[in-house]
Structure 1
């Protein structure tokens, strides 16, 4: 009996070690996939706060919560099963679909750049209807639709990183990425939209230091939002261009990736950070050019039809 108990304990220890190793693998893969999706995450964080502008401050957090729950439904109930089914039935389609998502990112980013240069306003707010409940519902619905597109790209990037892993690992990684990114994005968004309220609270305190910090927060938040928007746009173009370059190499066209790689080596001389910057710039240039081309074609197709008699 003692020997049998010892053998059982050994088996339990072995299973525990195996489970721990599997969790480590899932965590590492999820971290890598999440890093790859950084550009989409930044843009998601930059886009979401505009959906609570113009509404009562006491409704900001409830609205963000509703959007976050909608984002989780998008990722876990729609996109995760779809991604797993795709990887099972049509694994060859992952790279082309990922490239389509990359092209969309380039288009969105380039459109924002073109509209900023031309003085346009991307994603103008809907006019208020006079009914706060209706306006709130419309904004939540619009945010969840936008999140579906961004979440699809996040999940596609994550799936591409674990396409060769066992089915259970793929499912676990996609679930972890979906949960972690949703929590991170909407947690940061909640902090951003309430930061000015916190600043106003501090500004009313009797202590001079608290007042100074409060006024700094109130004045600084528009700058932070503007910077976040710029970073998000740049990240979309860079990540989208990188996806297209890498996807083209996987499909057999290695020239763009090779040119960027050689340029990074020539400029960086072994400095990893410099090489990364050059690679990001090269991917961003390709993304901006392709995205601007797509924006031009889309503009001609849709605006041309709208202007036709």
Structure 2
């Protein structure tokens, strides 16, 4: 009996060590996959504040919390099972689906550019004094979650590509860890950004001269930062969307557009010395954004023409 118990404990210890090793592998792979997706994470963080800048202070954090919950649902309930199923059953469909998402991002970004240029405004803002504020909030949250779905799909696809050689269970664990970690990081940062003015106002009421100075700085910097983030958010939609299209075409065998972007990037890197890495990346991002503007404008024109035709029929 004692020997049987000792043998059982030995088996348990072996299983525990194997589980610990597996968790170490999962955490390492998740960190690697998350690092690969860092560019899209930054885009996600830049896009999101634009959806909450027009709310009253008491609604900012609740709106961010709703978007964060929607983001987790996107990643864990929708995208994770779909990614695993496609990886196992239909891997060739991943690229076309991502390209459709990229085209949607291009359309969203182009709409914002057209509005900035004086085009027709789409959707209410609080400046319009909407009759139903709750419906306005729901619409804004839904729009943020739709955009997050595209960015999250790109994040999960990048992560999946990094762990494609792992077993199905490990893929699921790693994608889950990446999804949760990135959501917490992005929306935690967004929460800090949109509450920066409240933090600044609180600090100005402190007795310390340093605290007052920091508070005044935060208050002055907040409008500038939000305006900058709105611009970066629009640019992010365009360069991520255009980049997805270029990469997708390359994967599907149409190398010309991506080759042009790569050639420009390498030429800029070679010509700019120590800053070559940053400026080369920037050159490629600008080209991707231009592709996004053109494609998004075409989609926007088609959408509005069809919309006006349907409106005329009714």
TM-score range, shorter chain: 0.7 to 0.9
1:259 matched residue in structure 2: 260
Whether 1:110 and 2:113 are equivalent positions in the alignment is no
Q: When the two structures are superposed, what TM-score results if normalisation uses the length of structure 1? A: 0.82
SS at match of 2:124: coil
Q: Select 1:141's aligned residue among 115, 118, 138.
A: 138
Structure 1 residue runs without a partner (length 5+): none
Q: Is the 8 A contact 1:241 1:286 kept in 2?
A: yes
Tell me the alpha carbon deviations over residues 162-214 of structure 1, each in whole angstroms, 9 at most, x when there is no partner.
24333223322331232122212221222123221222222233444433332
1:191 matched residue in structure 2: 192
1:27 matched residue in structure 2: 31
C-alpha RMSD over aligned residues:
3.1
* Alignment: residue pair count: 300
Q: Structure 1 residues 147 and 23 mapped into 2: Cα distance closer, same or farther (>3 Å)?
A: same
Structure 2 residue runs without a partner (length 5+): none
Whether 1:160 and 2:157 are equivalent positions in the alignment is yes
- Superposed counterparts of 1:183-262, under 5 Å: 183-262=184-263
Q: Structure 1 residues 140 and 75 mapped into 2: Cα distance closer, same or farther (>3 Å)?
A: farther
Q: How far apart, CA to CA, are the structure 1 residues paired with 2:44 and 2:309?
A: 33
Q: Is the 8 A contact 1:42 1:235 kept in 2?
A: no
Q: How far apart, CA to CA, are the structure 2 residues paired with 1:255 and 1:61?
A: 45
Q: Select 1:285's aligned residue among 281, 287, 290.
A: 290
Q: How far apart, CA to CA, are the structure 1 residues paired with 2:208 and 2:186?
A: 33
- Superposed counterparts of 1:25-174, under 5 Å: 25-32=29-36, 34-38=37-41, 40-50=43-53, 53-55=54-56, 57-118=57-118, 121=121, 123-125=123-125, 135-136=133-134, 138-139=135-136, 141-161=138-158, 162-163=160-161, 164-165=164-165, 166-174=167-175
Q: How far apart, CA to CA, are the structure 2 residues paired with 1:125 and 1:58?
A: 17
The CA deviation at 1:274 is: 2.9
Q: Which stretch of structure 1 is more off in the superposition, 80-89 or 94-103?
A: 80-89
